[in-house]
Amino acid sequence: MPGLETTADRSAEWPLRTPAFRWFFAGRSISTVGSFMAPVALAFGVLDLTGSSTWLSAVLAAAVIPMVATMLIGGAVADRHPRDAVLRLTSFGAGVTQAGVAVVLLTHQPPALLLPLSALNGVFQGLTTPALRGILANLVSGRALQQAGSLLATAGNTARILAPSAAGLLTASVGGGWAIAVDAVTFLVAAACFARIALPGPPPQAGSMLGDLAEGWTYFRTRTWIWSVTLAFAVFNATTMGFWQVLGPVLTSDTIGPTGWGLALSARGAGALSTGLILVRVPLMRRPMTPALTAMALAALPLLLLGTGTNLAWLSAATFTAGVVAEFFTVVWVTVTNTHIPERLLSRVGAHDEFWSFLALPLGQIAASALTTVVGATTVAVAGSGLGAAAMLLAALVPALRRLELNSRAV
């Protein structure tokens, strides 16, 4: 098609030499800016509108539950259709729904309207995630996989540094609705960037959609090295991330406020950025999974300090550390999965990974508020961080992960 870029040279050592990857990189980077503004803006926007942590839990869960429920279908869709086309449609849909959320917050409409809008946004995110998991192998290959993953992470982490602080300042001055409006615009711009990519369609699938889903499930459940990591992150997401997302805005609303909370989140981005910049050039070790999972235990530290009432400086130091280890794990996992999972199965297997690891997240978000009223925020935070760290350390002991090598066949 005239005017569209194709993957002319997948063998290029440096991924930015490929025009299609450049457009993907631009679109993904732009949408990430808005995505990292949204959590701060939405949390304080909902609290400002309702004054209730219960409403905040409900709005967060309203987005996560449809997202998780849609992921498995999204995996089959992304393996059957061009992944760039999927991303164009889902980015446009996410932009429209976020615009609706912004209108509700800016015009002080009933908070119940946030629930269907969040649910629709969750559906689009659920369709987006598997396509993102699989598209990298369509754009680059070989050594460029690690570099591409690191470049995307570097851009994302730059946004992670700047966007939460900007959202905090914007929310404190004019309200969270404007930051959500920015998020909506970034999704629409990303859709325009993805329109400049023209990937070849996947080979025709002989089987049914149900058959595709069954094939992805069979591959997932028979690879210990995949499902053991997924299980560990299911525990981590429920007990650490779920609690963090609800307790953070609530516990800091009367102390460091949205500006301080945004700075703490930005510190995590700074840690991740520093790691991403290093991993763009430095190759991973031969057996990276055990070091990556062991380091991930430190990502539970911010929740522990949040619960014990530490100051902004120590909380930011902890989130910086969490950013370092989380980024290291992310680059390792992207490289390992794109290396060892067949390209035709990447989105389906990735969808199972995302589905099962995030299935417990809304449960953690809903439970956070209820448990806090029973045992107190400190107990919830300390217990959640301990369980999250333990899950990572136990996964690091799995023999299949300890043996997994980047340059050999996975078991």
Res 94: pLDDT:
93
Distances, alpha carbon 89 to alpha carbons 111, 126, 358, in Å: 27, 12, 23
Q: What is the rounded CA–CA span in Å between residue 243 and residue 370?
A: 11
CA distances from 80 to 87, 195, 215, 291, 367 (A): 13, 18, 13, 35, 37
Q: What angle do CA 152, 183, 298 make, to 5 degrees?
A: 50
Residue 11 has pLDDT above 50, yes or no: no
Q: Which residue has the higher pLDDT, 380 or 142?
A: 380
- Give CA–CA dist 277/285, Å, rounded: 16
Q: What is the pLDDT of residue 207?
A: 61
* Overall average pLDDT of the 59-77 stretch: 83
Residue 3 has pLDDT above 50, yes or no: no
- pLDDT for residue 212: 77
Task: Give the model's pLDDT for residue 2.
Answer: 39
pLDDT of residue 301: 93
Judged against a pLDDT cut of 70, whether residue 13 lies above it is answered with no
- pLDDT: which is higher, 370 or 396: 396
Of all residues in the chain, the percent with pLDDT exceeding 70 is: 92
Q: How is residue 284 written in tokens? A: 């991973």
User: Cβ(363)–Cβ(237) under 8 Å?
Assistant: no
Non-local (6+) Cβ contacts of 192 within 8 A are 27
Euclidean distance between CA atoms 136 and 142, whole angstroms? 11
pLDDT recorded at residue 204 = 59
- Does the pLDDT at position 321 exceed 50? yes
- The tokens of 137 are what? 């192998």
Confidence class for position 8, pLDDT limits 50, 70, 90: very low
What are 331-379's pLDDT values in tens digits?
899 888 888 888 788 878 888 888 888 788 878 877 887 888 888 878 8
Give dist(CA 351, CA 129) in Å, integer: 7
Lookup result for tokens 């209730």: 52
Residue 174 to residue 260: CA distance in whole angstroms: 16
Between residues 4 and 255, which one has the greater pLDDT? 255
pLDDT score for 290: 94
Tell me how far apart the alpha carbons of residues 36 and 31 are, in angstroms, rounded to a whole number. 9
CA geometry: angle 339, 343, 345, nearest 5 deg? 110
Which carries the bigger pLDDT value, residue 201 or residue 251? 251
pLDDT digits (tens, 9 = 90+) for 235-260: 999 888 888 877 887 777 767 777 78
Name the amino acid, one letter, at 115.
L
Give the contacts of 376 (CB within 8 A, at least 6 positions apart).
none
pLDDT reading at 9 higher than 50: no
What long-range pairs does 10-14 form, CB within 8 A, spacing at least 24? 10/139, 10/140, 10/141, 11/141, 11/142, 12/140, 12/144, 13/142, 13/143, 13/144, 13/147, 14/144, 14/147
The average pLDDT across 368-397 equals 88
* Confidence label for 203 from pLDDT (cuts 50, 70 and 90): low
Q: Which residues of 162-191 are buried (b: 16+ CB within 10 A; e: fewer)?
A: bbbbbbbbbbbeebbbbbbbbbbbbbbbbb
Q: 10 falls in which pLDDT band (50, 70, 90)?
A: very low
**How far is residue 43's CA from residue 39's CA, in Å, rounded to a whole number?**
6
Identify the sign of the CA torsion 252, 254, 256, 261. positive
Of 219, 220, 229, nearest to 329 by C-alpha is 229
9: three-class secondary structure by DSSP: coil
Contact criterion met (CB below 8 Å) for 308 and 382: yes
pLDDT band at 26 (very low <50, low <70, confident <90, very high): very high
User: Per residue in 75-130, pLDDT tens?
Assistant: 888 877 888 889 999 999 999 999 999 999 888 888 899 999 999 999 998 888 88
Q: DSSP for 144-185? A: HHHHHHHHHHHHHHHHHHHHHHHHHHHHHHH-HHHHHHHHHH
Give CA–CA dist 315/322, Å, rounded.
10
